[in-house]
Every structure is written in C-alpha cells, then in structure tokens.
Amino acid sequence: MKNEEILTSSADETQKIAENFAFTLSAGDCVALHGDLGSGKTTFTQGLAKGLGISHPITSPTFIIMRSYLLKEKKALFYHVDLYRTQDEADIKGIGLDSILKEKNAIVVIEWPEKMGNMLPLETKHIYFEFMNDSERKIRFENN
Ligand SMILES: Nc1ncnc2c1ncn2[C@@H]1O[C@H](COP(=O)(O)OP(=O)(O)OP(=O)(O)O)[C@@H](O)[C@H]1O
Ligand SMILES: [Mg+2]
C-alpha cells in the first residue's frame, strides 16, 4: 500500500482504499493528508474511520478544527483534525494538538498538515491527494 499511486474514480472507491489503509494503522500513528480543497481528504477520512470500526458518520471538522472518536477495539482514540482555519502554531498548541501527538493511545489524521510546520512528528505517514476531474482523484502514499 505504501509508496503507491492510485487513481480512484469515485468517492466510494476512495473510501474503500482508506478502509484498507486503516488496517495498517496502530495506536500512536499520525497520518497527514495533503491536497487542495475538494481533493478528497475528508472523504478518505470517512473510509478510514469505517475501517477503524467507527460506525457513526464522520463530518468535516472544518468549523470546529478537531473531533475525537473512541476506538473500542484498539483501546485508542481517533482524532480527525482540519487545520484549514488555523492561523499559526499558537492556534495549534491552543487546541492541544501538540500534546495529543505525544499520546501513545491516539491515531491522529490531519488535513492541511502544512500548517503544522515542524510540529508534525517525524514518523508521520504522508498521503497526497490530487484533483483530476469531477470523479477522479490521484492518491499517493509516501514512505517515511
Ligand atoms: N474519486 C473521488 N475521491 C474522493 N472524492 C471524490 C471523488 N470523486 C468525487 N469526489 C467528491 O469530491 C469531494 C471531496 O470533498 P472532501 O471534503 O473529501 O475534500 P477535502 O480534501 O476534505 O477538502 P477540504 O480541504 O475542503 O476539507 C466530495 O464531494 C466527493 O464526493
Ligand atoms: Mg476536508
């Protein structure tokens, strides 16, 4: 799955890819989702959450920056973070993201990770989304 480029032709397909990727994750992991507005980051996160066993719908946290969900099976918390509206590193510290990233029992998925600067953990798994046309997106998984 890693270091691989996939062309998906629907939101459903993107979610299925994410669902499979979820099985490679364990507590303590951080995933950075890079890509423009509408490139599929939240759609991917919805599939990821499903793969992690979260049954209630994942909505975009754009207006509230961060949402957390309890993962019963992995005895962990899943954090979905959207930094689009944050201004600076003080904002990011303000929501407590720096300490969440140190938690051993958290899986953290971050949209607009560029906003973190050097606060992003070194071992972060980076995924890049590219808008091709109305129904196609390119997803690239990068090795650490
Ligand atoms: N192949 C595809 N993969 C993912 N989404 C797709 C695809 N084709 C169409 N879409 C649509 O594109 C939109 C992607 O929106 P989404 O909210 O996931 O983007 P985003 O990257 O999170 O944007 P933002 O930066 O605004 O948060 C959705 O409306 C989705 O249905
Ligand atoms: Mg989004």
pLDDT over threshold 60, residue 9? yes
- pLDDT computed for residue 64 by the predictor: 74
Pocket test for ligand 1, best of 12, 17, 33, 39 (most atoms within 8 A of CB): 39
How many other β-carbons are positioned within 10 Å of the β-carbon of residue 6? 13
The model's pTM? 0.94
Give domain 5-142's CATH superfamily: P-loop containing nucleotide triphosphate hydrolases (3.40.50.300)
Residue keyed to tokens 């929501």: 95
The full set of domain ranges for the chain reads: 5-142
Q: Characterize the bridge pairing of strands 66-71 and 76-82.
A: antiparallel
How many angstroms does the Cα of residue 26 sit away from the middle of ligand 2? 22
Interatomic CA distance for residues 76 and 70, integer angstroms: 6
Whether 30 contacts 101, CB under 8 Å: yes
Interatomic CA distance for residues 90 and 95, integer angstroms: 9
What are the tens digits of pLDDT across the range 28-83?
999 999 999 999 999 999 999 999 999 877 777 666 789 999 998 778 999 999 99
